[in-house]
Each structure stands twice: as structure tokens, then as C-alpha cells.
Amino acid sequence: MSWRVDESSASPVTYKNQVRGWLSYAFASEVFVIVSLTLFLPICLEQFARDNGYYEPDHITRCAAAVLTAEKARCVIKIGWVWIDTASFSLYTNSISVALQALTVISVGNVADHPRHRKRLLLLFAFIGAISAMVFFVLPSSSPIWPVSSLLAIISNVCFGASMVALNAYLPSLARNSEEVAKAAAALANVPESTTLSEETDESENAGLLSSGTPVLADAKAEYSKALATATSRISSKGIATGYLAGIILLIVALIPVTKLNGSTLSLRLAIGMSGVWWGFFSLPAIVWLPSGSGGSEVPEKRAVWREMLVSWKRLGGMLRWEEIKKLRNTFKYLAAWFLLSDGFTTITSTAVLFSKTVLFMPASSLILIGVIVPTFGIIGSLAWPYFQRRLGLSNLRIVMILVVLASLAPAYGCLGFLPVFRRIGFGGMNHPSEMYGLAVYFGFVYGAFQAYARAFYAELIPKGDEAKWYALYSITDKSSSFVGPLAVGLIADLTGNIRYGFFFVVLMIWLAVPILMSVDIERGRVDAEVYSYRANYP
């Protein structure tokens, strides 16, 4: 077994451009998440439904024709033969989009592992998603085809998720080719031959030797692992901070039409359309800077698309065989925790926005201000937590654990709103709009760092050479759960008439992940991934 820099390693200048290309797409695409997916799409879809909905229980008074009051807060829309809450219409759309996103991610995973196809795939989905968002410019809620808004939201979200699989697949190789990791790899490669492993040693013996080894080899391995973890979390954190910065800029720009038009449906459509323009335009530098070299899994040039999709599904089946799961048990433990955490975090944001609009009756301009606060403190958090990590000497796993516990306190605070004392005074437990600003500061500081560390930590646990497949599985795990949260909260809102009950579900999902995270052995996980990268046995 050898420890070295990728054969495709680039010169320092080329490497910097590759990182710029990676960050440029983060700058382009995260705007869609921050401006549209997290903020404007949920409230715009709800507003589309409200503009065409009726108040309960008579189903006669149009919601758009009456003043919104606490007595007339329950607005419903008829979809087919069923009356659903207008907030649930938005949540159900989100649920469907992430379910379809998971299927798409599985289908393209095999193609994305070939660097040249990976770049093409990223750009294809980027521009389709951007165009879908731009169509909101010309689709008013008064149109008889207004339900198309749901389809556009689904397409854009599916495209964003698929493009991010390709983008994340670049992260491990970018980290391995960084200067500090290259130096650590060179030092490890120079360890005397007598201390390295024989190629004939079987896999179980390899694992035992790697976990101990000679003092020289152990020290060299520790330095390499530390450098790799630091480089991965640094690049990932920069990506989150860069994307958040872009989101803040466009949110401030969007505040102008939303304020001038008093938060009308038109102003919400303009904001979503602008996020599509931003996404498409700032994806252009990625065409020049993202690497397009050889390496990774070979994909025949002329193989039919449907065959590539079939191979992707077969490979997923191979990755999920029990014997493969046992080889990478710590990787799959983390994926199990991520299944719950991604659902919880995704549902926090969508539920909080809809709760602020439909329960606290906050205007769109206030929601935009909250939307600016969250990514602003997300930038601060994504840059501050690596500093805390260095000062305290904490591992990526320990930081993730701390962030998970801290994040769970936000929805737990919303659950306190049922206490009579807070309801009586009208403050505490998310009973007053002003509380949402403080929660935005708190949640943004935690969530920005969590996104960076969750991705970076996973990069330490996946085999080299098949990054896109494993990041596709990461995204599949994310999306296969993330449709559950909005769906569950939507059903809770329909059955109870109070979306606040959804916060109990979110807290439960997050806390279920804590014991699973605690069981992950990061050192053994790294060793298993290194061995597996040379012993992979996909069908």
C-alpha cells in the first residue's frame, strides 16, 4: 500500500485555479439554496396556494380577498379531491422534490466518477436548474397553470442536488493535492520500506498493522491524517462561507423589490428568478477552472445513457451489500446518523419560515432580514469553528457532535411555546416575532459550521477513486430522509391545524442521531477506507 499525492496532482498555479473553480460554483449555486430553497420558494409556493385558496370552514371566502387575521388563519387549497393547508402545499412540494432528487442522484453517480463527465454533468444540471428558477419571472399566481410553480420548484431542486454530488466529488482530491497534505504524504512515502506493509498481507492483517505499526509509521500516518482532515474541513468551510456570502448579497438586493412591492407574490417571484440568473451566470467560471483531467472510474464514451443509469443502480446495490457494509461499518454508521440529521436540519429551516409567515404573521421583508441574518452568521460560524477546533484540539467528529446538540436547542425552544406562561405573556418559545431574529443569529452560527464539518468529516471515511459514488450515496441518504421531515410536518399541520407541533418531530429526529454518531470510530474508519479503495468489489 502506498501513500502519495494523486497522480493527477497539479502545479501550484493550476491547483489554485481548481480550488477557485470549486469555490466559484459554491458561490453560484448556494444562492439558490439560501435565497430560494430555504426562504422564497416555501413562502412563494404558500402564497401561490393562498392566492387561489379559501378560508375554512366555509371554503367560500377567498384568502386573497380578505385580511389575514388570527381568526382567519386557516387557509386551504383543493388539490384534486382533497383540501390541504396552504403551508402543507409548500411542504409536500419540497417532499416530492427531494424524493425525486434521490432517484436522480443514484442514476448519475456512475457517470460523475469520471472527471471529464463529472464536470459536464455538473454544468448540465446547473443550467437546467437555473432556467427553471428563471421561469418564475413569467408565471403569475393568477395564471390558470399556477400549479406549474410546484413543478418548477421540483426541477430546480433536483438539478441543484445532482450538481452538488458532482461538486462534492472534487473535494477529497482537492484536499489531497493541497500543499500541506502533499508534504505529509511525501513524508509518509519516505518511511523505510521495512516499516510498510507487504502487498501479500491479507485485509484483516492490514487493518491490524495500520492501526498500530512502528512508531515512525504511526507518527507519519497521524500527521498525514491530521493534514488531510484540516485541509478538507478548510476547503469545505471556505465553500460554505463563499456560498453564504453570495446569498447575503442577493438577499439584500431582493429586499428592494420585496419592500417596494409590499411582499407581494410578484416580489417573491422576482427574488426566485434572480437566484436563477445568479446561479447560471456565476457558474460560467467553473467551465474554465474546474479540473477535467483523466482518472477515476472509466466510463466508455459511447455507452448509452440508460446503460450508465443501470450500472449506477447496480453499483449502489453492490455498495449496500452486507459484506460491503461490514468493510466500511464506520462510514455506514455515519450515513445512518446523516440520514436523521439531514432530515432534521432541512425541516428546521422550512418549518421555521412557514411558521413565521403563517403563525407569527411576519411580513416578507422581515423574513428576508432573517434570511440575511442566518447566512451572515453562517459565514461567521463556518470560519470561527475551525479556529475553535485548532485551539481546543478537537476532532472533526467531536465538533460535529457539539454542533448537533447545539442545533437541536432551536426547535426545542419552539416546543416551549406550548407552555401557558409563555402563551400568556406572548413572549418566549417563539410566541413573538422578535424572537425569530435571535434564533436566526444562533441557528446560523451553528448551521453554517455544521454543513462544512458534516461534508468534511465524511470525506475522511470514503475510498479514494470512487468519490462521486460515495458522495452520491451521501446525497441519497440526505434526500431519502429529507422528504420525510417536510411530509411529516405537512401532515402534522393538516391534522392539528398548528404547524408548531412539527418542532417536536424535528427534535426527535436530531436526537436519534446522537448515539449513532457517538459509535463512529474515525481512525478505524480511515483505515477501512484506505484498504477498501484497493480491494473494492462492486458488481
pLDDT of 488-517, one tens digit each?
887 887 777 778 888 888 888 889 888 998
What's the pLDDT at 384? 87
Question: Tens digit of pLDDT for each residue in 447-486?
Answer: 888 887 887 788 888 887 666 677 767 776 765 556 677 7
- DSSP label at residue 337: H
Give the fold, CATH level 3, of 12-181+217-290+318-535: Growth Hormone; Chain: A; (1.20.1250)
pLDDT grade for 10, boundaries at 50, 70 and 90: low
* Phi, psi (deg, nearest 5) at residue 83: -90, 125
420: exposed, middle or buried (Cβ count in 10 Å: 0-12, 13-18, 19+): exposed
Q: Of 442, 437, 265, which is closest to residue 366 (Cα–Cα)?
A: 437
What's the pLDDT at 136? 96
pLDDT grade for 202, boundaries at 50, 70 and 90: very low
**Domain residue limits, the chain:** 12-181+217-290+318-535
58: exposed, middle or buried (Cβ count in 10 Å: 0-12, 13-18, 19+): exposed
pLDDT at residue 123 tops 90: yes
Name 231's Cβ contacts closer than 8 Å, sequence gap at least 6.
175, 176, 178, 180, 181
161-195 burial code (b ≥16 CB/10 A, e <16):
bbbbbbbbbbbbbbbbbbebbbebbeebeebeeee
C-alpha cell at 102: 434521490
Alpha-carbon span 156 to 128, nearest angstrom: 7
Q: Tell me the residue type at 132.
A: S
Instruction: Give the CB-side neighbour count of residue 263, counting CA atoms within 13 A.
Output: 15
What's the pLDDT at 75? 85
Across the chain, what does the average pLDDT equal? 80
- Higher-confidence residue: 324 or 483? 324
Alpha-carbon span 247 to 37, nearest angstrom: 11
pLDDT grade for 213, boundaries at 50, 70 and 90: low
User: Are the beta carbons of 13 and 228 closer than 8 angstroms?
Assistant: no
C-alpha cell at 353: 419560515
pLDDT grade for 359, boundaries at 50, 70 and 90: confident
What's the pLDDT at 67? 54
Angle at 392 between CA 390 and CA 393, to 5 degrees: 65
From residue 316, alpha-carbon distances to 114, 310, 320, 325, 475 in Å are 16, 10, 6, 12, 12
pLDDT at residue 199 tops 60: no
User: Are the beta carbons of 152 and 146 closer than 8 angstroms?
Assistant: no
Question: Tens digit of pLDDT for each residue in 269-310?
Answer: 999 999 999 999 999 998 889 877 554 444 444 455 566 667
C-alpha cell at 238: 471556505
Alpha-carbon span 115 to 290, nearest angstrom: 10
pLDDT at residue 230 tops 70: yes
How many residues are listed for the chain in this entry?
A: 539
This prediction's pTM = 0.70
Question: Tens digit of pLDDT for each residue in 63-112?
Answer: 876 555 444 567 888 888 888 888 788 878 988 887 788 788 777 766 76
